[in-house]
Structure 1
C-alpha cells in the first residue's frame, strides 16, 4: 500500500488541473464525505501509509494534501488496482510517474472496492495543496510602522505576593486571575498545580490540583501544568468547576490523537469537578474527565477555559464551555496537517461544548446543535472557530463581542474577533501575511491577488516582533482614562498597550508605568529581563497586573 500511494500521490506535483467548465463534474465530487467511511479510511491510512506519507510535506513519499482535488478519483482507483497495466497501456500520467520514480508499483487486485473508497474519503478531507511562495517577495519587516507611545500611564500599587513554586524565575507561574461571578470570590492559579483564593490581599491555598493526578507534569514550562480554570455560571448552586492540565504520555484512552509514528510529548486533560460545598474555603470534591488530547510538543496546548459572562439562563451560550487549544507545536515540528484541517481535527481551534450533554463521541459531554459544524460530515462538531496557533486568552468586550489573543510564530501577534465557523489562517497565514509551513516558517510573504478564495478571517489588531514577542490580554477597565478600552501587552518584555476597539481602524498605543509616584518599567519592578506579564480582574471590575517572574500582583489605581 505505501509504495502504491507513493506513486499515485506524486501526480499532485506533476499535473496541472484544467478548471472545470460549465457542465463538467468537479474533481472529487464523487468521493463520499460520510463520517464512518472517513474514519475507516483514516485507519487504513495510518496502518499502511503514514510511515511514508503525510499531508504536510514530502517525506519518504510525496505530500498527499489536495491530491483527490487534482487527479480524477477514477484514475486513482484504477492505478491502485493495477499500476503497471496503466503504464503498459501508455497512460501519460502513469508513464510520467514511472519516469520520476524508476520503479513499477505492485498491483492490488484483491483490495476491496470499499477499502479504496474509504482511503479516498479520508484523503479528500485534506483540501489544500502545499503553499507556494516566491522567496524574492520575502518581507524583511512585515509591519514597518512603529507603535506610538501614549502620554497615559498605568499607575500601580502593590497588591499581593503569591508563594514561590520554583527556585528559579518565574518564581510563581501565575497565569489567570479571575473571580467566581456570583459570590465574587477571587482566585489565581499557579501552573505548578496550585489554585489560590485572594482574601484581604493575601493568597490562601484553595485547590491542590496536582495532588489528584500522579502523572501531572508542569515542566519544562512553556504553558504546561495547570493551564486554566473556569467556574460554571451556576457554580454557587451546582458546584461545577472546570480545569485543564498536562500529564506525561501514557496508556490512558485518548479522545483526540494522531498517527502512532508522530511523537506525543504531553496529554492535555479537561476535567469537570463537582464540589461538595461551593462556599467552603478549601476545595473538596470529585472530578470526571471530559476529554484527553495528545500534543506533539509541550507548547500551545489548552491554555484557556471560559464561559460567556454575558449569557443568562435561556441564552444560547449559557452553560457552554469554550476551550482554546493551539496546534501543540505541530506545524513547526513538520506536521502542519494536524493544524491545517479545515475543521476536521481538534487542534488549532476554539471549541464550544455542553458539559451537561452526552452526544460527543466519548459520551462525556455534549455538542451544541448550534455549533457551526454540528452534524456536518467530515467535520468536528466541537469546533466553534479554527486556524489558531495559540489562542491563549478568550474574553468578551463591553459590547458582548468574543475576542481571542493569538501568540504568533516568528513575526506577528494577533487579536481576533471570534465568529462561529470562521477560519483564522494558521498555519498558512500569520496575521495578514502568507507563511509557508512546508519551508522556512520564519519568513513571511505578501498576500496573493486571489487571497479572497482562501476565505480567511484576519486580525482586528496585529503587531510584529519589533514591538513584542507574545501577546497577552485582556480586560476593559470600567473607569479612569482607559475606560472601555482594551488593556493588553507583551508577555516577555512587560510592555503595556491599549486600544479603543470601537474605532473603525483601532490603533495600538504603548502605555508607561508609574509606581510609588515614579515612572518605571515592569522589568525594573521585578528586576528581571523576562517579566512574564499577565492581567487579572475581580468582580468589581478592578484590573490587576501580574509579573510571573517574581509572583507579584499589582492593582491599577487610576481606573
Structure 2
C-alpha cells in the first residue's frame, strides 16, 4: 500500500538524553527482506519530501529511529493531529518549524509501519543540528491585517470520494465561456458539472482512464481541465492526469539512472454533443511526460481568456509543468536546462497542429524557442518549481503562482522566453540545488545581470506554506484587488496588480453564518486545502478539499 508518509517527523536533539540514545530503536527489525520492503515504500511515497542528507519540505530523517522513541513515531504517523493537539512539545516544535500539518495515516498496517521503520533504522548518522548558514528569516517584515472580512455562504457539496479528509480533491472550478455551464473536478473521480449547486458527473475519468492514480497527499489524479474557446461548436476540452511510471512510452523523459515514478498525460476530449449532460465522444492523447515523484507536476491547463478569433494567442493551450521532484532527486540539470527541456516550465502548444516531436500537437511559431536548435519549442517561460495557477488580469497581463521549496512563495508576471530562477533562485534569494537547498542566501551584487526575472510578490513561510492564486475581485469591499491564499492553512491575502514593481500585500478574512472565523474554523480542520473558483456571472468561490465543500463569497 503506497502512502504519503512523514511530512514532518524529526525532533531537536535537546529532547533526548545521551544515555538513552543507544537504547532507542533496539526493538526495530534488521531483517533484510523487511528493510527492502520499507525501502520500496519509502521511495515510492516519502522521498519527495524527505531524504537522509538534508532538510526539505519535511525534515532530514537520518538517525531519526535512533533518537526518537519507536512508539512515538508510530503514533505520530497514525494520527499526527491528535499528538499535536495533546501539546506534545516534540510535535508542536515540528509544526512551528515546518509550517504544516500532515494528514492521518491510520490506514497503515502495523507491518507496513514496521517495514518503514526497519529501513529508516539503517541510517544511523545523527541529523545535522548546526545552526543554518543561510538566512534564518528571509523576509522579516510581517503582513498587515486589513481588518476586512467578506461574508461567505455554503454553495455546494461534492460527493465524498474518500472516508477521511480530504473528502473531495477539487482543485479547479471553471465556467465554459459560451454556455456558462459550471464545472469542477475531483482528482479521484472525474469532472462534475454543477447544476443549481448540484453535482452531476460529466466525465467519469476513472472509467475512461483506468490507469489513473490519485493517492492521499499526492498532487495527482485529474489535476486540471479547460474548455476550448469554441467548445459549444467543436465539443473539445482538455485534461491532465497521472498514471504510474511505465504505463506507456513517454514523449519526454530522462536517463534511466533516475527512477520514473509517475507519468503526466494531457488528453484532448471531443464530445459528440457539446450540450449533453454526460460526456460521450472520442479522446486523443497529446502528451505524456515522465517524472520521478508524485509532486510538482502538471497542475494547470488554461487558455488566454482575452484572446479572440484572429489573435495570435487564440486557441493556444497553456500548460503549467513543475520540476516533478527532479531537484530533490539530484537532477537539477533537467529543471535548470535553460529551455532545452520542458520541465520547470510554462508550455504553450497548438492542439490543432502537428509539428511537435510526437506529431500530436503543434508548436506555435511565435513561441520564444520555436525552431531554435537545442531548445524545446513548447517552452513559453521557464524556471518554476510548481507553477500551479496561471491567469490573466483585466489589463491582459499574464501571471503565475509558484510554490516554493522551503522558504519563499511567489507570484510572477509571465513574459515569453524569460527565466524565473528555479532551481538556482527561490524568490529574490540564492539557493544551491546541489547542496542543502533548504538554505537561502542574499543576492550578490550584479545578480540582476544574470537574466533572472524576479517575482512581483514573494512571501516566506512565516506567512504561508503553499501559495494559490484567486482572481481580481469583481465586487465587494475588495473590488479590483487580486486575492490569493495559502493552500494548507487557508489564510487569505490581497494585493493590487496595478502596482507592478511595488505590490503590497495585506491579509483579509471571512464571516460565516454571522461570525468572524478562520477557514480552519469553518472546515473544522487544521488543513484547509484552499482553492478558488469563478462562475460565468463572475461570482467568486472558496473551495476546501477537507470537507469537499464550496463557499460563495457574497456581494
Question: What interval of TM-score do these two structures reach, taking the shorter chain for normalisation?
Answer: 0.7 to 0.9
Aligned 8 A contact 1:137 1:446 in 2: no
Verify: 1:256 aligned to 2:233, yes or no.
Answer: no
Tell me how far apart the structure 2 counterparts of residues 531 and 214 of structure 1 sit (CA, whole Å): 29
* Residue 159 (structure 2) aligns with: 163
* Residue 535 (structure 2) aligns with: 538
Tell me how far apart the structure 1 counterparts of residues 518 and 369 of structure 2 sit (CA, whole Å): 45
* Residue 519 (structure 1) aligns with: 516
Aligned 8 A contact 2:150 2:477 in 1: no
Verify: 1:506 aligned to 2:527, yes or no.
Answer: no
* Residue 84 (structure 1) aligns with: none
* Residue 46 (structure 2) aligns with: none
* Residue 389 (structure 1) aligns with: 385
* Residue 203 (structure 1) aligns with: 199
Please report how far the alpha carbon of residue 213 of structure 1 lies from its aligned counterpart in structure 2 after TM superposition.
Answer: 1.7
Aligned 8 A contact 1:398 1:484 in 2: no
Tell me how far apart the structure 2 counterparts of residues 429 and 319 of structure 1 sit (CA, whole Å): 33
Structure 1, unpaired ranges of 5+: 1-134
* Residue 313 (structure 1) aligns with: 309
Which of 420, 440, 459 is the aligned partner of 2:455?
459
* Residue 370 (structure 1) aligns with: 366
Tell me how far apart the structure 1 counterparts of residues 380 and 458 of structure 2 sit (CA, whole Å): 22
- 1:464-492: per-residue Cα shift (whole Å, max 9, x none)? 00001000112112122111211100000
* Residue 550 (structure 2) aligns with: 553
Please report how far the alpha carbon of residue 137 of structure 1 lies from its aligned counterpart in structure 2 after TM superposition.
Answer: 6.2
Q: Aligned with 2:167: secondary structure?
A: coil
* Residue 351 (structure 1) aligns with: 347
Query: Which of the pair has more CA radius of gyration?
Result: 1
Verify: 1:404 aligned to 2:407, yes or no.
Answer: no
In the TM superposition, what are the counterparts of 1:148-297 in structure 2 within 5 Å?
148-250=144-246, 252-297=248-293
TM-score (norm 1): 0.75
- 1:167-196: per-residue Cα shift (whole Å, max 9, x none)? 121010011001000000001000103211
Please report how far the alpha carbon of residue 428 of structure 1 lies from its aligned counterpart in structure 2 after TM superposition.
Answer: 0.3
Aligned 8 A contact 1:321 1:353 in 2: yes
Tell me how far apart the structure 2 counterparts of residues 549 and 137 of structure 1 sit (CA, whole Å): 37
Q: Aligned with 1:337: secondary structure?
A: helix
Tell me how far apart the structure 1 counterparts of residues 188 and 214 of structure 2 sit (CA, whole Å): 5
Tell me how far apart the structure 1 counterparts of residues 132 and 229 of structure 2 sit (CA, whole Å): 53
Aligned 8 A contact 1:229 1:243 in 2: yes
After the TM superposition, which segments of 4 or more aligned residues of structure 1 sit over 3 Å from their partners?
A: none
Tell me how far apart the structure 2 counterparts of residues 149 and 446 of structure 1 sit (CA, whole Å): 27
Tell me how far apart the structure 2 counterparts of residues 236 and 221 of structure 1 sit (CA, whole Å): 36
Verify: 1:476 aligned to 2:481, yes or no.
Answer: no
Which of 326, 329, 346 is the aligned partner of 1:330?
326
Tell me how far apart the structure 1 counterparts of residues 216 and 271 of structure 2 sit (CA, whole Å): 31
Please report how far the alpha carbon of residue 336 of structure 1 lies from its aligned counterpart in structure 2 after TM superposition.
Answer: 0.7
Structure 2, unpaired ranges of 5+: 1-130
Verify: 1:414 aligned to 2:414, yes or no.
Answer: no
Tell me how far apart the structure 2 counterparts of residues 535 and 207 of structure 1 sit (CA, whole Å): 21
Q: Aligned with 2:328: secondary structure?
A: helix
Tell me how far apart the structure 2 counterparts of residues 282 and 380 of structure 1 sit (CA, whole Å): 37
Tell me how far apart the structure 2 counterparts of residues 168 and 479 of structure 1 sit (CA, whole Å): 35
In the TM superposition, what are the counterparts of 1:91-170 in structure 2 within 5 Å?
138-170=134-166
Aligned 8 A contact 1:269 1:293 in 2: yes
- 1:291-340: per-residue Cα shift (whole Å, max 9, x none)? 10000100011110000000000001100000000000110221111110
Please report how far the alpha carbon of residue 517 of structure 1 lies from its aligned counterpart in structure 2 after TM superposition.
Answer: 1.5
Tell me how far apart the structure 1 counterparts of residues 356 and 197 of structure 2 sit (CA, whole Å): 42
Tell me how far apart the structure 2 counterparts of residues 415 and 452 of structure 1 sit (CA, whole Å): 18
Please report how far the alpha carbon of residue 221 of structure 1 lies from its aligned counterpart in structure 2 after TM superposition.
Answer: 3.6
Q: Aligned with 1:417: secondary structure?
A: strand
Tell me how far apart the structure 2 counterparts of residues 220 and 523 of structure 1 sit (CA, whole Å): 19
Tell me how far apart the structure 2 counterparts of residues 285 and 485 of structure 1 sit (CA, whole Å): 40
What's the C-alpha RMSD, in Å, of the aligned pairs?
1.3
Aligned 8 A contact 1:241 1:274 in 2: yes
Aligned 8 A contact 2:211 2:247 in 1: no
Q: Aligned with 2:223: secondary structure?
A: strand
Verify: 1:298 aligned to 2:294, yes or no.
Answer: yes
Tell me how far apart the structure 1 counterparts of residues 279 and 372 of structure 2 sit (CA, whole Å): 40
Equivalent pairs, count? 425
- 1:248-284: per-residue Cα shift (whole Å, max 9, x none)? 1225221100001110110000000111000001111
Q: Aligned with 2:219: secondary structure?
A: coil
Please report how far the alpha carbon of residue 454 of structure 1 lies from its aligned counterpart in structure 2 after TM superposition.
Answer: 1.8
1:534/1:251 Cα in 2 relative to 1: closer, same or farther (>3 Å)?
A: closer
Q: Aligned with 1:535: secondary structure?
A: strand
TM-score (norm 2): 0.75
Tell me how far apart the structure 1 counterparts of residues 544 and 270 of structure 2 sit (CA, whole Å): 31
